[in-house]
Amino acid sequence: MRETADIVVIGAGALGCSVSYHLANLGAKNILVLDKGAICSGETSKSGGFVQTHWVSLDEVRLITRSRELFWEWEDNFGADCAYVETGYLHVTGEEREPTVRSIHEMLLSEGIESHWLDRREIKKLQPIINVSDLTAAAFEPRSGWANPVKAVQSLAAAAQSKGVEFAEGVTVRQISHRGGKIDGVETDQGFVSTRCVVLCAGPWTPLLHPLASMPLPIKAKRGQVCYINRPGGLPKNELAFYDEVTGIYTHTDGDTSLLGIDFDFTDVWDPNRYNRTIDEDYVEMALGALAHRFPILGTAQLVRGVVGLYDFTPDGHPIVDGPIGLDGYYVAAGFSGAGFKSSPMMGLGLAELILKGKAETVNIDFVSFARYRDSDHWIGW
């Protein structure tokens, strides 16, 4: 591991690898990425990998849309496959939530993004095994789907390495060092790295490494979980990426299994190094019960494995991607609230431009600036 670097990126997940690639692609040199594990061994590796534009925030929709274009041609852009599956994304709803789902659908149309409004008959035609008895409508995006997060991030890292970025795996950052209002280095368990620029992309660990106690980041770690289930009853392998406003389930295929999640209360985690990593039995029971209601043919599905991880939440659900924050040379990309993967390719570009040019030029990231919290105390005690 080098002892000096022009830029140190902390975290080799989706955002860390994306920003390091784009920094190098824009001409930055002497970039070092540090991770306490391996490349994409943290929370990004547990992501469901959904890539869909049906999202409530127009600013995030625009970032996701631009990122989805990269997912479509990932190998051409980054040199390796990310296993993007384009079977479409179906977002079904009942009467209560239909106005919200329709408003997002119409927002997408106003942006020139392909989305189709389906009635119950059309939903059944698209997905014959679905129970539509309590559904009223759906929005369908034919070009959305999901990607393999590990393959995507590892290919981003390899592309960054081909441009000279160094990755130091198994290195634990202990402290970000600063003097006189400026970043001057990073203290690790393997020695000190001198640098004038740090990009902190450590997900739930970000608040622990944040060097300014007088200017706290409003980011909380919360425990989340998801199931992987078997596929009885002939569920087709080209299953749509799917979200259900009525039951709260979301699912897509994953090899010989299917990912299955359900909206469930998150619990605060005060130490991201210590939390219960065993999936809750009531979570599994609730998810399988809702799945059996929506897809009766899957009533005998069983849990293959559970995955438990951490989300890094902010009060408004938007990340903090900004800098310099409080110190010259200090940048943060964290607090993605479970939605970072799908926008990470272009969010990383925006942050790289901010670091090197003083402003994101290709995409708008102003809406995720730290100023919305720095200039307000509404989040205190959230």
In a domain, 56, yes or no: no
Looking at residue 126, which CATH number applies to its domain? 3.30.9.10
Percent of the chain with pLDDT over 70: 96
pLDDT given for residue 364 in this prediction: 96
Whether residue 254 lies inside any domain: the answer is yes
Same domain assignment for residues 340 and 320: yes
Which pLDDT score, from 0 to 100, does residue 377 have?
Answer: 61
Q: Assess if residue 59 is contained within a domain.
A: no
Q: Kindly report the number of other CB atoms within 10 A of residue 318's CB atom.
A: 18
Q: Is the pLDDT of residue 370 over 70?
A: yes
For 331, counting Cβ atoms within 10 Å of its Cβ (0-12 exposed, 13-18 middle, 19+ buried), the class is buried
Categorize the per-residue pLDDT at 160 as very low, low, confident or very high, splitting at 50, 70 and 90: very high
What pLDDT score was predicted for residue 293? Answer: 97
Residues 28 and 131 in one domain: no
pLDDT confidence of 237, banded at 50, 70, 90?
low
Within this chain, do residues 300 and 340 fall inside the same structural domain, yes or no? no
Is residue 184 predicted with pLDDT exceeding 80? yes
Of 266, 293, 313, the residue at which a domain comes to its end is 313
pLDDT category, 380, cuts 50, 70, 90? low
pLDDT value at position 339?
Answer: 85
State yes or no: pLDDT of 376 exceeds 70. Answer: no
Looking at the structure, tell me whether residues 273 and 173 fall in a common domain. no
Tokens of 28: 């930055």
Q: Are residues 256 and 309 in the same domain?
A: yes
pLDDT attached to residue 379? 58
Give 207's DSSP letter. H
Kindly state whether residue 135 falls inside one of the protein's structural domains.
Answer: yes
pLDDT tens string 82-116 = 999 998 999 999 999 999 999 999 999 999 999 99
- CB of 61 within 8 A of CB of 53? yes
Residues 27-86 pLDDT 10s = 999 999 999 999 999 999 999 999 999 999 999 999 999 999 999 999 999 999 999 999
298 shares a domain with 253: yes
Picking from 278, 313, 348, the residue at the C-terminal end of a domain is 313
What was the pLDDT predicted at 270?
93
Report if residue 295 sits inside a domain. Answer: yes
Report how far residue 134's alpha carbon sits from residue 95's, in angstroms, rounded to the nearest whole number: 8
| Residue 80 domain flag | no
pLDDT at residue 240 in the model: 87
Q: Which residues pair with 243 in a beta bridge?
A: 91, 250
Answer yes or no: do 298 and 338 share one domain.
Answer: no
Write down the pLDDT at residue 378. Answer: 57
Burial class (CB in 10 A: 0-12, 13-18, 19+), 345: buried
pLDDT band (50, 70, 90) for residue 250: very high
**Position 148 pLDDT exceeds 70:** yes
pLDDT exceeds 90 at position 118: yes
Contacts of 99 (CB under 8 A, 6+ apart): none
Q: What's the CATH code of the domain at 183?
A: 3.50.50.60
pLDDT at residue number 207: 96
The per-residue pLDDT for 382 is: 58
Question: Does 62 fall in a domain?
Answer: no
Q: Which domain holds residue 349?
A: 7-47+149-219+316-374
Q: pLDDT value at position 374?
A: 75
Domain boundary among 285, 313, 341: 313
Q: Indicate whether 286 and 338 sit together in one domain.
A: no
Q: Cα separation of 233 and 256, whole Å? A: 13
Tell whether 98 and 224 lie within a shared domain: yes
Question: What number of CA atoms fall less than 13 Å from residue 177's CA on the CB side?
Answer: 13
* pLDDT, position 185: 98
**Number of domains, the chain:** 2
Same domain membership, residue 244 and residue 191: no
Instruction: Please indicate, yes or no, whether residues 158 and 214 belong to a single structural domain of this protein.
Output: yes
The pLDDT score that the predictor gives to residue 1 is: 83
Same-domain status, 226 and 247 = yes
CA distance 176 to 16: 16
Q: What is the mean pLDDT of the chain?
A: 95
pLDDT of residue 371: 92
In a domain, 55, yes or no: no
